[in-house]
Amino acid sequence: MVDYAGSGPATPPTAPSGLVSGALRMGDYWLTVLARTWKGGVITTFVTPFFYVLALGVLLGGFVEADPTTLEGADSYLAFVAPGMVAAHAMTIAFSEMTYPVYGMVKWQRIYFSMIASPLTASHIVLAQLGFLMLRTLFACGVFLLVLAPFGVFETWWGLLLAWLVQGLVVLAFATPVLLFSLSIKGEESFALIFRLGMIPLTLFSGTFFPVANLGPVLEKVAMASPLWQGVNLTRMLALGEIDWGLAAIHVGYLGVLAGVCWWLAVRRLGERLVS
Amino acid sequence: MISAHGLRKSFGDFEAVRGIDVTVRPGVAFGFLGPNGAGKSSTMRMICCVSPPSEGELRVFGMDPAKDGPKIKARLGVCPQEDTLDVELNVYDNLFVYGRYFGLPRAEVKGRIEELLDFVQLTDKAKAKVDDLSGGMKRRLTIARSLINRPEILVLDEPTTGLDPQARHVIWDRLFRLKQAGVTLLLTTHYMDEAEQLCDELVVMDQGRIVAHGTPLGLIQEHSTREVAELRFGVGEHEALAAKVDDLAERIEVLPDRLLLYSDDGEAVIEAVHSRGLAPVATLVRRASLEDVFLHLTGRTLVD
């Protein structure tokens, strides 16, 4: 029987010195979660988007004979739809990772409560979780973009690189409000609401599959106000090499402000849930 | 280690803790005994820096939880009422990731895990999923997790609630070893036997207030006789029969299912009851316990 006092080195436990150093302490938690779950994520992360590109972009798109001017400058339907799908994929990852998994950490297994009992705070927890999500999304979207590259949908290598980096911003712009929502709801049935009234309409009507101009002047403006259109249009401009830098800056600003404000609110909300 | 003066906690109109004074010295096993809703867990949460006090002064390791929460938490071990284990990770990983939260090097955490799994007798379950563990094993794992940072104070909120008697004894044995190793223990319980076994010092809480403070034995001596004679009569007869025997004991308590007669000689009380021609269905003479202290102080039983 080993005495509790223990043997070996006795590094004193400490409070983290800063926000990043605290979040990094959670790196092993997220790596352990990843090691356990990556197999299950392979299909949704890599195979599903490939099927979508094949079915919608190549096979269905083969029937679309549109003038490039009506496809926002894309010279094929595949070239039009592929960048939109990448951004929509980043959004889907945000929804799937920030809904039930987050709710479980508050309500079912209550893991957040064990984290807050350690020297970590809500700010560390949120930074680690969103940081990990961003890295995962960049990896998934990176693979997606590499699969698309041989189809010739990217005009320049730097457009491809920037389009890839933009997905880090897109995922945060969705992850932060959804995280805030998941930390605020009373029952899991509320998720049906944001999937049916949020994710699905966003995917279908934010310019992913057809130009928003097709919606008519009023609905076009509504679609353009959606965060997904901002992400889709930004990704598409970078992919097609037809970049309006002023508009690109607006997209980045819109997504950045949305992510920043919701991040701040999510940290506050998590703090309220854990410390009362 | 811990000092609280005039500590209060309110949730809206409800006042969970109504001005308590507590001092916990190093190396002591300090208990908060009381029924559900007495304010024990609210007090623990304030000490653990996850619930800001509404009023009063609280110091843990001489620091203010409102300002130095992370520094205090680094030196505390917390075993909450619910296990809050990650059921998707195995036993080993639950301990590993938790050790890392305290800024401990990986190699050191690994060494500690081996020792702790041995200490809580879960070495052969290291790779098991948490879901496959029994309730008692999960509790032991939670205790091991709370010890990963070698805390100076171990806080245990209802450590054996919901466990079967055998599992409770295993937990008590481990906690007793920690106590002997000099760890300051802070525990809440509504089990009087748990408080008697483990606590050097305790406070009895009721409705947010401390109603008594002392050692288990001291409290029993102060608030009760040495023995208790329990008399069980037919259903509904206890109230009426109390008047016929109340002169036989120093004090009498009428419960729905039995009469408690407090006396230093319980056997003599039982004999006297029989000699009056009364025939209880069952009788029992036992040593007075903290349950009797609580009953005397509040007029209610601990476990409703």
Neighbour count for residue B195 (Cβ, 10 Å)? 27
Q: Does A4 touch chain B (CB under 8 A)?
A: yes
Partner-chain contact B73 A28, CB within 8 Å: no
Write the pLDDT tens digit of every residue in A106-145. Answer: 999 899 999 999 999 999 999 999 999 999 999 999 988 9
With a cut of 90, say whether residue A184 has pLDDT above it: yes
Q: Looking at the partner chain, which of B101, B112, B145 has a beta carbon nearest the beta carbon of A6? A: B112
With a cut of 70, say whether residue A5 has pLDDT above it: no
Question: What confidence category does residue A4 fall into, taking pLDDT thresholds of 50, 70 and 90?
Answer: low
Residues of chain B above pLDDT 70, percent:
99
| Model pLDDT, residue A73 | 82
| Model pLDDT, residue A45 | 75
Question: What confidence category does residue A1 fall into, taking pLDDT thresholds of 50, 70 and 90?
Answer: very low
SS3 B281: coil
Write the pLDDT tens digit of every residue in B260-270. Answer: 999 999 999 98
Residues of chain B above pLDDT 90, percent:
65
Write the pLDDT tens digit of every residue in A231-272. Answer: 999 999 999 998 999 999 999 999 999 999 999 999 999 999
Report pTM.
0.91
Tokens of B256: 């729905």
Give the range among A27-36, A42-51, A183-192, B214-223 with minimum mean pLDDT: A42-51
Residues of chain A above pLDDT 70, percent:
98
Report the residue of chain B nearest A24, measured CA to CA.
B101
How far apart are alpha carbons B7 and B147 in whole angstroms? 27
- Average the pLDDT over B197-221 and give the result: 93
User: Sheet of B14-24: strands edge to edge?
Assistant: B14-24, B2-11, B55-60
Most confident of A25-29, B175-179, B219-223, B237-241: A25-29
Question: What confidence category does residue B155 fall into, taking pLDDT thresholds of 50, 70 and 90?
Answer: very high
Partner-chain contact B80 A113, CB within 8 Å: yes
With a cut of 50, say whether residue A2 has pLDDT above it: no
Q: Looking at the partner chain, which of B51, B112, B149 has a beta carbon nearest the beta carbon of A275? A: B51
Q: Which residues of chain A neighbour B50 with C-beta distances below 8 Å?
A: 113, 116-117, 274-276
Write the pLDDT tens digit of every residue in A151-166. Answer: 888 889 999 999 999 9
Write the pLDDT tens digit of every residue in B15-70. Answer: 999 999 999 999 999 999 988 889 999 999 999 999 999 999 999 999 999 999 99
With a cut of 50, say whether residue B226 has pLDDT above it: yes
With a cut of 80, say whether residue B304 has pLDDT above it: no
- Where do the domains of chain B lie, and which CATH numbers do they carry? 2-215 (3.40.50.300), 225-287 (3.30.70.980)
| Model pLDDT, residue B302 | 61
How far apart are alpha carbons B60 and B65 in whole angstroms? 7
pLDDT mean across residues, chain B: 91
Partner-chain contact A10 B150, CB within 8 Å: yes
For residue B1, give the H/E element and its range. none
Q: Which residues of chain B neighbour A117 with C-beta distances below 8 Å?
A: 48, 50, 73, 76, 78, 80, 84
With a cut of 60, say whether residue A3 has pLDDT above it: no
| Model pLDDT, residue B298 | 82
